[in-house]
Amino acid sequence: MNKYSRITGTGSYLPPRRVTNADLAAELAATGIETSDQWIVERTGIHSRYFAAPDVTSSDLGAQAARNALEAAGRNADEIDLIIVATSTPDMVFPSAACILQNKLGIAGCAAFDVQAVCSGFVYALTIADAMIRTGSASKALVIGAEVFSRILDFTDRTTCVLFGDGAGAVVLEASDTPGILATDLHADGKHVGILCVPGTVSGGKILGDPLLKMDGQAVFKLAIGVLEDAARATLTKAGRTEADIDWLIPHQANIRIMQGTARKLKMSLDKLIVTVNEHGNTSAASIPLALDASVRSGKIKKGDTLMLEGVGGGFTWGAVLLDF
Ligand code: UT7
């Protein structure tokens, strides 16, 4: 048994092709779809996103993020005894992106599996890794969020295709005598399956149903703000802390209006809100570790800071992780 788990290194990776709103608007205009930089910025806060090349997979992006996290933690890949990849865009139906990524890191033998909780995937994965470390099933974990959402976008649907991007973020989570992760809180409500889904699948060698993303943006928007507040408050109660103890709020990076609304509900200054959605759009399970790593590397987040990580997305799923960094 270990007392706590603690993040000892962060990393991230974005594919090289940066697509600004103006670039995307021009590409869409060529196919008769009308959008604008002004609409995207005003409604979402997004200015750009990154798209991976067609032959680049989630495990490719995730492996690079993992290497960067290992370097930051001062660990070698062969010291890792657990790999969890949060993704809804895995390389294959099976095996998991985690197994493929393990091989890319040049290691073998440790447990490796994927978690599929869409945009809440990283907080789900971190919660599982924390539990496995505290029960003694693992001592040094790689927890990764990696996505190539560009593969499941319908570029004839302007209400969704301007929102998402590709990328990966990772943390090394280790057994520790000091916290670390203070409290976690996970939820799902499957009756909302239809408001955010990719309803297709592979069957009998054919695609069955529609394999592209569908979203009722307004329904997701309304649900998101309420559940993000509830999950944050639940972790604070469990940890015996208050909103005033939070140094940085890192919500899922989907829409600046949802993120600011959540901060206001928690009576937090917007100065404490970590925002990277402007740069990389909504990268689903990768968005929280991407935002975390960017803020650690820029010097904003420092060792000892208290962080509130919050995910929300398809399922419907939501959850939070409160931790001392
Ligand atoms: O990652 C999982 C979590 N996902 C989210 O958190 C997403 C949550 N939802 C949202 O972020 C917002 O609902 C959206 C950004 C998706 C949409 O913003 P909105 O303020 O709810 O816009 P809307 O859907 O009410 O659309 C307003 C107008 C509509 O035109 P009319 O009917 O008023 O004439 C849309 O057709 O904006 C139009 N529109 C666009 N116009 C230009 C929708 N998409 C676009 C576009 N460019 N890309």
**Predicted pLDDT at 2:** 86
pLDDT higher than 90, residue 112: yes
21, 252, 255, 280: the catalytic one is 252
Pocket-testing residue among 221, 312, 317, ligand 1, by greatest number of atoms within 8 A of Cβ: 221
282 in catalytic set: yes
Taking the centre of ligand 1 as the mean of its atom positions, its distance from the CA of residue 216, in whole angstroms, is: 9
Query: Alpha carbon of 284 to those of 147, 247, 300: distances in Å?
Result: 7, 23, 23
Q: Convert the pLDDT of each residue in 59-84 to its tens digit.
A: 999 999 999 999 999 999 999 999 99
Pocket-testing residue among 157, 158, 159, 225, ligand 1, by greatest number of atoms within 8 A of Cβ: 159
pTM to 2 decimal places:
0.98
**Average pLDDT over the chain, rounded to whole?**
98
Taking the centre of ligand 1 as the mean of its atom positions, its distance from the CA of residue 164, in whole angstroms, is: 13
21, 68, 255, 282: the catalytic one is 282
pLDDT higher than 90, residue 25: yes
Q: Of all protein residues, whose CA lies closest to atom 7 belonging to ligand 1?
A: 217
Q: Convert the pLDDT of each residue in 175-212 to its tens digit.
A: 999 999 999 999 999 999 999 999 999 999 999 999 99
Taking the centre of ligand 1 as the mean of its atom positions, its distance from the CA of residue 39, in whole angstroms, is: 9
Spatial distance between the Cα atoms of 7 and 203, rounded to a whole number of angstroms: 40
**Predicted pLDDT at 1:** 81
Taking the centre of ligand 1 as the mean of its atom positions, its distance from the CA of residue 283, in whole angstroms, is: 17
Q: Convert the pLDDT of each residue in 249-283 to its tens digit.
A: 999 999 999 999 999 999 999 999 999 999 999 99
**Among residues 225, 232, 220, which one has the least CA distance to residue 196?**
220
In the chain, helix, strand, coil percent, each to 5? 40, 25, 35
**Predicted pLDDT at 250:** 98
Phi then psi for residue 154, to 5 deg, are -95, 105
Using CB distances shorter than 6 Å, the residues near ligand 1 are: 35, 39, 43-44, 119, 158-159, 162, 196, 217-218, 220-221, 224, 254-255, 258, 282, 312-313
CB atoms within 10 A of CB 308: 30
110 in catalytic set: no
Q: Of all protein residues, whose CA lies closest to atom 41 belonging to ligand 1?
A: 35
| Cβ–Cβ < 8 Å for 58, 148 | yes
- Which residue segments constitute the domains of the chain, with CATH numbers given? 4-176 (3.40.47.10), 181-324 (3.40.47.10)
For residues 146-150, give the mean pLDDT: 98
For residues 289-295, give the mean pLDDT: 98
3-state secondary structure of 305: coil
pLDDT higher than 90, residue 301: yes
252 in catalytic set: yes
Taking the centre of ligand 1 as the mean of its atom positions, its distance from the CA of residue 155, in whole angstroms, is: 15
For residues 274-303, give the mean pLDDT: 98
Q: Convert the pLDDT of each residue in 208-234 to its tens digit.
A: 999 999 999 999 999 999 999 999 999
